[in-house]
Amino acid sequence: MSASLALPHRARRLRAIPGFGLAFGIALFWLSAIVLVPLLALLLRPFELGLAGLWASLAEPRVAASLRLSFGAALLAAAIAAPLGLLLAWAVVRLRFPGRAVLDAAIDLPFALPTAVAGLAMTALLAPNGWVGGPLGEWFGWRVAFTPAGIVIALVFVALPFTARTVEPVLRDLGRESEEAAATLGATRFQTLRRVVLPALAPAILTGFGLGFARAVGEYGSVIFIAGNMPMVSEIAPLLITIRLEQFDYAGAAAIGLAMLLLAFAVLLALNLAQRALRRGQG
Amino acid sequence: MRSTFRPGRRAMLAAPALLALPARAQGVRELLNVSYDPTREFYRDYNAGFAREWQAQHRQTLRINTSHGGSGRQARSVIDGLAADVVTLALAYDVDAIAERGLIARDWITRLPQNSAPYTSTIVFLTRKGNPKGLRDWPDLVKPGVAIITPNPKTSGGARWNYLAAWASAQKHGQNPEEFLARLFRQVPVLDTGARGSTTTFVQRGQGDVLLAWENEAHLALQEFGAGQFDIIYPPLSILAEPSVAVVDGNVDRRGTRDLAEAYLRGLYAPAGQEAAAKHFYRPRDQALLQKNAERFPTLELVTIDGAFGGWAEAQRVHFNDGGVFDRIYRPGR
Amino acid sequence: MSVIVEGLVRRFGTTAALDGVSLAVRDGEFVALLGPSGSGKTTLLRVLAGLEPQEEGRVAIAGREMAGVPARERGIGVMFQNYALFRHMNVFDNIAFGLSVLPRGRRPGRAELTARVRELLRLTQIPELERRWPDQLSGGQRQRVALARALAIEPRLLLLDEPFGALDALVRREVRRWLRGLHDRLGITTILVTHDQEEAMELADRVALLESGRIAQFDTPSALLAAPATPFVAGFLGEAARLEGQVAGGVLRFRLPGLPPLAVALPDGPATAFLRPREVVAHPAPEGPLIRLVRATAEGEARLVVELAEDVTLDAVATPHGAVQGEWPRRQAACRLEITGAQVFGAGGARGMAGALRLAEVR
Amino acid sequence: MNATEDPLWFRALLVALAVLTGLLLLALPLAAVFTEALRRGGEAALAAILEPDTLAAIRMTLIVAAISVPLNTVGGLAAAWCIAKHDFPGKRLLVTLVELPFSVSPVISGLVFVLIFGLQGWLGPWLQARGIQVIFALPGLVLATLFVTFPFVARTVLPLMQDQGRAEEEAAATLGAGGWQIFRRVTLPNIRWALLAGVLLCNARAMGEFGAVSVVSGHIRGQTNTMPLHVEILYNEYQFAGAFAVAALLALLGLVTLAAKAVLERWSGRVAGEAG
């Protein structure tokens, strides 16, 4: 496990900072043992079904519906969490008000709170007889728990720290000079925000959106209590994986897992490309 | 730097040691019973009695571990290597699934009396106090405005019994059973993954007008949440639910626990086991005991899975497998 | 300690940062690597330090081949561009670092280590800074700490990467003198990277001028100025202006009007001349190119910018003996230009010195 | 008024919105947990926590975290060190792979280990023949937790490491320091607060993971249950107060983590600020 592993062609290449071989060995071993080999199993298992079988297993309307729901809800949740995250980041970085430090710390709460606990709490709150669900139902006739809306709310909770925490450092870094420059050039405050601040933050917002989406799309613990789990309506893809597992359909379960992984990758890749285009447009 | 890390490292090593249980005494034998959700309370009672008796007879301390969860998930865990000595699951189908992988002898169902089901149950309605919607029989459930709570038959054994009971009733009333079930499931607002989840949704979250539940779950809900809030309604016809028990041959032979496992299951048929079952609202096989508790276990017409559906394998294939009737119910466009 | 570099190549992707560099530095010499940004001078320094791999060519330091020898084993003192002080260590610990990572057998004891660090603090004239943290230091102080740290390992070769970049002009001059004095005292072979020619000329025994990954010329400062080997060297040094012209019969005539012809020993054909401001003298005249800007210098002479044509200007000096003292030189006045000397390169790269044409030679 | 200052009403609106978001999305669920936990009084909550099965779950959670967090710290640091301080082919790929577990559903994270170590998987039969239990035992719980918490340390440390550049490490190398010496004496001190914050987050997630662990746990009462799984079990036993009591304990751990992280950040900020 030395540098030769990484560089088969140049056995003894000189490195500026020593210690690469050992560290790279550890990193590679750790990565392979914990991530790569397990995911390889996920990659290979579905093909036991054969390509046609794999396709049939994924083309089933319920699977398609659950994938649509999982990805749709996650995208929507990330889209809601992005402006909320921007708002929180802005408040924490730019505004001074009592309780700012508490709000700052609270942003990480969904990171630290176990997802099952979050799910239970959300359900307790949003159920038709809960603190929030009750008034919502009584006053507006809205039902949130056990509907896709409940899923989206749970996912917003999960995605929020990702969107807020990616924007925050960039905002902190941005400083006020460019805004001041814009002001001296005669821009109104709104023009400054729209044409100077927002574009500067856009890549970070996009990154946060992507991370929040990635985290939300696979979420299980906090969603399962509140989802309602109705086939074709509020059944998320991870639940379908468990359902398949319970029918002893390992390959089918892995197939959905693989599909989720690939779809998530495609979305993240698209975001990455969009971000690169965004940066290029600015550079 | 160095000085700040050291105590941390020590504390980290110390923490688990602090909580560690004392080393297990010698001569302790262990048994793992992998069961499904609603049996927790029952087996906690039964385990205590059985361990006492075993201790008295064999001078061995027993430590009986239990694992509870959805019946299907539990069967899957055993298939994947959970080292269960006995399984006590909701359906014969789940035990069959384990047997198919060679961990249990194929003829398991005949190895113990009465289809290897030492206690039975049935499916009943749990309604709000006073049964405000007037639900007496299965056809009442699909009246407009009735919200039904039942778990997902794909993930819950109990839900499959619910489903089949409804099917049998529709057949008896001369309705198209598939249409009846489609209507019924359209009135289900929440489809939990397990029987316990459904009970919580109905009782705790106040969802729905009626919960389709195991008889024992309904009684337990009354006991836990106050008898004044709910009524148990017995429909004229329901299904005989036979939760199956079996020794996991592959594991007991490896672990040397066959004697213990077999005694454990046989004990379920013994008076103590039957009484514990009755106490926890499972219908005992012992007819005398059943008569004695007639008030708790009213007589009703019960169809059997073998009689009405041609056995579990067939029922599973027709109704619950991917592409089966249950999936058709949720086809878009209906 | 001598440094020999031969045919060194280092590529980043497809661009070659070093494209066949050869250089021989003598023991105890102070050499400057001078060049515009991107010419490869820092890369060369990093290869010498062992921070970049050498892909082709060889490096030998004190006769020892350096290929495959990692930085930590080279015993070369490096002063980094922004000093790279360890921000979490105070000045003392920064300087002591090199000694404290020696193999156990050679590692000095606490008392000896303290003594050595104190000595270095004295040498670099910052004993009072011993307990300060890097971010409490001024640029000049940081530089001294960085130097003391590099000297702590008793290097046989000292590499300095733009060491004066972060200093203001006044401090710069002072620190430069001090550094050269220190070098003369310690006698450590020193290689300095800089883009500032004044710095290179003042500090170094010899200057290597780099142009896009190659050494254009390696010589003493005076030789570089007197005899630049290539048009690039001539253009880079001494703020020279570049002018195109034609040689015919030993006479160079410029393409632009207003400039007198020059005598040059080059064959006929196109040629490029590099004129330093000091070599162009403006005399008052009734007509001719106009003076656009006038700037007085501390040396008492007047520097001019003369407009030769639309958007083409040339730096020049004014004759102090104007026709009307006090009025000359002034903006918008016409002048006559005299050229006292120039570096001229012919079409093939042949170099010729040029001088003013004596009247007799004008045909 | 400053040129870049928004009008007061606008700032007040923003603050109100931010605080409202914080209250609704963040504080309310937390409040719900604690209210439910204390519904039957503090003593009932305490009794639920002191129950032997709960204690066993707490013990299991601590053991799993105590094993997986240090492992992920070492691995994460090694990866971050390679990425930030060295050049090698496939570096971008390594960065992506390190982040990969973030985008993998927890259920899948558990599933992959079942696919490998399960009796129907690649290694299951071989392991069982040798009496080695991986899933449905501690190793499985640790593996699933490792997978889920994999990116935390690397991701918290990496930006800072990249930001700090390599100059100090290169300087140390020219001064004769070896790889380990550079790492321990130059890199590590520079990132220690970020590292600690990463470790804390990693720990919080390790203790709170539900989905992945649920798949590989086997749910043996008193043996392979971690705290989040025990919450579910208690909940399913209609012991709502007990379930929320354990949940509150978990939430409390999370809050302590956050507080510690906030203090760390403030502290490191002050240290840097003082020096500068």
ipTM for the predicted complex: 0.79
CA–CA min distance D126, chain A (Å): 16
Q: Distances from the Cα of C70 to the Cαs of A231, B290, C67, C314, in angstroms?
A: 63, 87, 8, 50
Query: pLDDT category, D221, cuts 50, 70, 90?
Result: confident
Q: Give the mean model confidence (pLDDT) for residues B207-231.
A: 89
Least confident of A115-119, A180-184, C57-61, C290-294: A180-184
D220 with B68: Cβ contact below 8 A: no
Distance CA D234, CA D48 (A): 9
User: Strand B119-128 relative to strand B230-233: parallel, antiparallel, unpaired?
Assistant: antiparallel
User: Strand C335-339 relative to strand C312-318: parallel, antiparallel, unpaired?
Assistant: unpaired
pLDDT of residue C321: 55
For residue range B231-280, list pLDDT tens digits in order: 999 999 999 999 999 999 999 998 899 999 999 999 999 999 999 999 99
pLDDT of residue C302: 81
pTM, two decimal places: 0.82
D185 with C97: Cβ contact below 8 A: yes
For residue range A193-228, list pLDDT tens digits in order: 777 788 888 888 988 898 899 889 888 888 887 877
Instruction: Check: CB of residue B80 under 8 Å from CB of residue B243.
Output: no
Q: What is the pLDDT along chain C (363 residues), one digit of tens a residue?
A: 789 999 999 988 888 889 999 999 999 999 999 999 889 999 999 999 988 888 889 999 998 998 888 888 888 999 988 888 998 889 999 999 989 888 888 889 999 999 999 999 999 889 999 999 998 898 889 999 999 999 998 998 999 998 887 778 888 888 888 889 989 999 999 999 998 888 999 999 999 999 999 999 999 999 998 889 899 999 888 888 888 899 988 888 888 888 888 888 888 889 999 988 888 888 888 888 888 888 877 777 788 888 888 888 888 888 765 444 567 778 888 888 888 888 889 877 778 777 776 654 444
A103 with D251: Cβ contact below 8 A: no
Distance CA A187, CA A191 (A): 6
pLDDT of residue A141: 80
* Token couple for B219: 């009684």
* Token couple for D209: 């993971």
Q: Which of residues 54-73 of A touch B (CB under 8 A)?
A: 60-62, 65
B330 with A146: Cβ contact below 8 A: no
CA–CA min distance B329, chain A (Å): 10
pLDDT higher than threshold 80 for residue A101: yes
Instruction: Check: CB of residue D85 under 8 Å from CB of residue A36.
Output: no
CA–CA min distance D228, chain A (Å): 7
Fold (topology level) of D41-275:
MetI-like fold (1.10.3720)
Q: What is the overall mean pLDDT for chain B?
A: 87
Residue partners of B255: CB distance under 8 A and separation at least 6: B83, B85
- Residue D262 C-alpha from the chain's centroid: 16
- Tell me if the bond preceding B151 is cis, omega within 30° of 0: no
Residue partners of D217: CB distance under 8 A and separation at least 6: D136, D140, D141, D224, D225, D226, D229
A60 with B322: Cβ contact below 8 A: yes
Distance CA B255, CA D191 (A): 50
Q: Contacts of residue C71 in chain A, CB cutoff 8 Å?
A: 16-18
* Closest C-alpha among C194, C148, C178, C191 to residue C26: C191
Q: Is D174 on the interface with C (CB under 8 A)?
A: yes
* Token couple for D215: 């798949």
Mutation target for A interface from B93, B148, B155: give the one with most A CBs within 10 A.
B155
* DSSP secondary structure code for residue C325 in this structure: B
* Closest C-alpha among D94, C77, A243 to residue B321: A243
Q: Give the mean model confidence (pLDDT) for residues D26-49.
A: 86
The structure tokens 């032997």 sit at D52
A247 with B205: Cβ contact below 8 A: no
* Token couple for B153: 């038959």
* Closest C-alpha among C181, C189, C184, C95 to residue C142: C95
The partner residues of D228 in beta bridges, in order of sequence, read: none
Q: Contacts of residue A214 in chain D, CB cutoff 8 Å?
A: 102-103
Q: Is C46 on the interface with A (CB under 8 A)?
A: yes
Instruction: Check: CB of residue A111 under 8 Å from CB of residue A159.
Output: no
Query: pLDDT category, B13, cuts 50, 70, 90?
Result: very low
Distance CA D248, CA D37 (A): 7
Neighbours of B209 (CB within 10 A): 20
Distance CA C334, CA C332 (A): 7
Residue of A97, A118, A183 with shortest CB distance to D4: A183
In degrees, to the nearest 5, what angle opens at C-alpha A188 toward C-alphas A182 and A190? Answer: 100
Distance CA B142, CA B182 (A): 10
Q: Give the mean model confidence (pLDDT) for residues A244-260.
A: 84
Least confident of A5-14, A129-138, C5-14, D202-211: A5-14
Query: pLDDT category, B123, cuts 50, 70, 90?
Result: very high
Domains and CATH numbers, chain C: 3-226 (3.40.50.300), 239-361 (no CATH)
CA–CA min distance B173, chain D (Å): 35
D170 with C78: Cβ contact below 8 A: yes
The structure tokens 């270095």 sit at C120
Greatest CA separation for chain A:
74
Domains and CATH numbers, chain A: 19-49 (no CATH), 60-282 (1.10.3720.10)
Q: Contacts of residue D128 in chain B, CB cutoff 8 Å?
A: 81, 254
pLDDT of residue A220: 84
CA–CA min distance A173, chain D (Å): 12
* Token couple for A241: 């994986």
* DSSP secondary structure code for residue A246 in this structure: H
Is the Cα dihedral B203, B205, B208, B212 positive or negative? negative
Q: Which of residues 72-101 of C touch A (CB under 8 A)?
A: 72
Q: Residue A161, SS3?
A: helix
Q: Contacts of residue D121 in chain A, CB cutoff 8 Å?
A: 41
Instruction: Check: CB of residue A3 under 8 Å from CB of residue A20.
Output: yes
Residue partners of B281: CB distance under 8 A and separation at least 6: B121, B215, B216, B218, B219, B220, B296
* Closest C-alpha among B10, B31, B22 to residue B258: B31
B68 with D221: Cβ contact below 8 A: yes
Q: Is D42 on the interface with A (CB under 8 A)?
A: no
Q: Distances from the Cα of D56 to the Cαs of B34, D221, D226, in angstroms?
A: 19, 9, 8
* DSSP secondary structure code for residue C78 in this structure: E
Instruction: Check: CB of residue C166 under 8 Å from CB of residue C82.
Output: yes
pLDDT of residue D5: 65
Residue of A23, A84, A131 with shortest CB distance to D21: A84
Residue partners of A32: CB distance under 8 A and separation at least 6: none
